[in-house]
Amino acid sequence: VVTIKEVARRAGVSVATVSRVYNHSHRVREETRVRVRHTAQRLGYSPHGAARSLVTNRTHTIGVLLPDLYGEFFSELIRGIDQTAQARGYHVLLSSARSQVESLEPALRSMRGRVDGLILMTPDLDAAAAGRSLPAGFPVVLLNGPPSDAACDSFGIANFDGARSMVRHLASLGHRRIAIICGAEQNFDAAERLRGYRTALVELGLDRDPGLELPGDFSEAAGHAAARRMLERDLRPSAVFAANDGMAIGALSAFRDAGLRVPDDIAVAGFDDIPMARYVEPALSSVRVDISELGKNATDRLLDALGEPAPRTLQHQTLPTTLVVRRSCGAPGGAARSTPFNPSEG
Amino acid sequence: VVTIKEVARRAGVSVATVSRVYNHSHRVREETRVRVRHTAQRLGYSPHGAARSLVTNRTHTIGVLLPDLYGEFFSELIRGIDQTAQARGYHVLLSSARSQVESLEPALRSMRGRVDGLILMTPDLDAAAAGRSLPAGFPVVLLNGPPSDAACDSFGIANFDGARSMVRHLASLGHRRIAIICGAEQNFDAAERLRGYRTALVELGLDRDPGLELPGDFSEAAGHAAARRMLERDLRPSAVFAANDGMAIGALSAFRDAGLRVPDDIAVAGFDDIPMARYVEPALSSVRVDISELGKNATDRLLDALGEPAPRTLQHQTLPTTLVVRRSCGAPGGAARSTPFNPSEG
DNA sequence: TTGTAAGCGTTATCAG
DNA sequence: CTGATAACGCTTACAA
């Protein structure tokens, strides 16, 4: 617990000089600098973060508020955020499981004086008010949220386009009765994917059967349950589009148990293209989203904004998706399951 | 950006009183407290974290240093850590991708004055020295690391026991040629699982064939590659134990491509019991580890230690594992794949 | 019960 | 190029 004072004393200089050595190190004689560095090293000194940020009003930390997330999505997102932040000299203060709007404000308050800006994921549809409780002028990037009245940057993914193009792809293979297993209710991504599905049906001139829209919540178990329900109700679409890969895999499992062959008896497709997708049987067609890229972009934008003066120009970005065709949807050219894994793809 | 001074002025009290309202709120007249709270609320005041921790020498934040982790393991671990920390009023400062021992020290220094304690995951075998660069007396919990000379608490999982019992289980099903797909070299968990495998073979009186120990790195792709290599080399064990589920699933996929039936032609088992394990075909036998529990325990221990005086008693804990038998290993009673998902299990 | 004032470890503004 | 010294926003004896 050695402070700048101690280093200064031992190096025979003033605290100001030590400080200068650690910052804009101009205007320090080389000899002095070396002596200070050396003393500091010997004493095991490093500047006290809190003291520093008290006077500079900069914490070099960004806050990340997330809902309770599971699986790959969470880890990929954090990876993108943390890597970018670190590369730019910032720390990441993480706080998850903040889905309730009410619990948002306390979380925000507790971060005052601890972070320079915020990445806020508000997937709930009713979270539009989220931005409201934010101190005006405080740099915030919204992630995967519904359009908000808040004057914040926002980043998301092309849920609508991705879902739409997958459904169109299924239709191009001849499918006319296409079901969807929906994501969590009240979830914006889920709502957009459903909207993409519905729009595609309309565009294709297919009837929309409410019975073909099964509820789900993004979990494998929900996909499994939805598939079972289809079979029980003798509702047999020729293709099923699940709002994420986890549910698609749950559905695959249920169909298999029921003795159905995928894709011959029923086609299946998912969303997200998690790494596992290419290894299930049959390999799962999906909509690829580069989650870590999403995290990276959001972080880059936030850090850029930290520099700009208060009235910033807002930025909204939607990350495009890619259709990934594998065997499960029955396309003739469905990529072989044994395609070597290419990290740059995943 | 309203400070305690402003609140004090507007409420007609001194800063000390405002401070008291926000802390050990004894010794403040009810009427005063209400007035202060009200004023603060109206002004949107919340105490400045950095200023606070400068004087109290407490940040109410714990640092978490992790290697570059993928998938479920990462998210489960963070979930356990963050939930526990939050419940006890602490923040989590995250820093990942710190596998290099050299990059550890800068990371540590940059956290000085920002965290009260540290959870440090050092899976590399040569990371024993990691603890060395830690300020003596600074509360640290080591996670999944090799035994270290550092005077730190350490938490890990029963890799050895888990691997050993899975291999014994495979042997009990009649298997005599049991292969292993190893985890990342230099990784402690991987080394322990390999040791468990080898020990089991010895105990069972089976010969140890170095050719049956295939290299891997915990990725699906590595499992796939290892399985292919087995087949190419015409090395056909009757059972394969993969050091994690990801590799087991990669292997399943490769065997399927080669026209082998699992478990009839070859049995497969994994480690970790990720949620996906029960949904692959055939459902994967595995060794269950409650990762989020690991994170929770480590965090609880760290926060407890923050209270204790300097010379603490060291605590080392190994989280037990459970054998989860499903179809892929060919056990007669292998649980049906359609077992309803029970969240408390996963 | 409340106010005054001395720091906490740094940075930054002035003089020298 | 270097040294005093006044903040930064808050907590906490010590007084009142």
Which of B70, B91, B113 shows the shortest C-beta gap to A95?
B91
d(CA A196, CA B28): 58
SS3 B293: helix
**Amino acid identity of B250?**
G
First to last CA, chain B: 44
Q: Whose CA is closest to A285, among A336, A327, A315, A251?
A: A327
Chain B 287-326, CB < 7 Å to strand D: none
Contact A97 B86 (CB under 8 A): yes
H-helix or E-strand containing A337? Answer: none
Chain A residue nearest residue B47, CA to CA: A112
Contact A112 B49 (CB under 8 A): yes
SS3 B322: strand
pTM: 0.89
Radius of gyration over every alpha carbon of chain B, rounded to an integer in angstroms: 26
Q: Whose CA is closest to A58, among A116, A108, A138?
A: A116
With tokens 């973060």, the residue in question is A49
Q: Give all strands (DSSP E) within A215-340, no chain letters.
A: 239-242, 267-269, 286-288, 316-319, 322-324
d(CA B70, CA A76): 8
H-helix or E-strand containing B66? Answer: none
Nucleotide nearest to A46 (CA to C1'): C9
Q: By percentage, how much of chain B surpasses pLDDT 70?
A: 89
DSSP β-bridge partners for residue A213: A180
Which of A59, A109, A135 shows the shortest C-beta gap to B50?
A59
d(CA A73, CA A292): 8
Q: Report the range of poorest mean pLDDT among A229-233, B3-7, B23-27.
A: B23-27
Average pLDDT, chain B: 88
Which positions 153-212 of A are in contact with B (Cβ < 8 Å)? none
Work out the minimum CA distance from A95 to partner chain B, whole angstroms: 7
**pLDDT tens digits for range B253-281:** 999 999 999 999 999 999 999 888 988 88
Task: Give the count of beta carbons closer than 10 Å to the beta carbon of residue A269.
Answer: 31
d(CA A243, CA B121): 35
Q: Three-state SS across B190-234?
A: HHHHHHHHHHHHHHHCCCCCHHHEECCCCCHHHHHHHHHHHHHCC
* Residue A196 pLDDT grade (very low, low, confident, very high; cuts 50, 70, 90): very high
**pLDDT tens digits for range B38-57:** 999 999 999 999 999 999 99
* Residue A102 pLDDT grade (very low, low, confident, very high; cuts 50, 70, 90): low
Residue from B279, B292, B328, B337 to probe the interface with A (highest A Cβ count within 10 Å): B279
Q: Cα angle at A168 between A165 and A171, to 5 degrees? A: 155
Q: By percentage, how much of chain B surpasses pLDDT 90?
A: 66
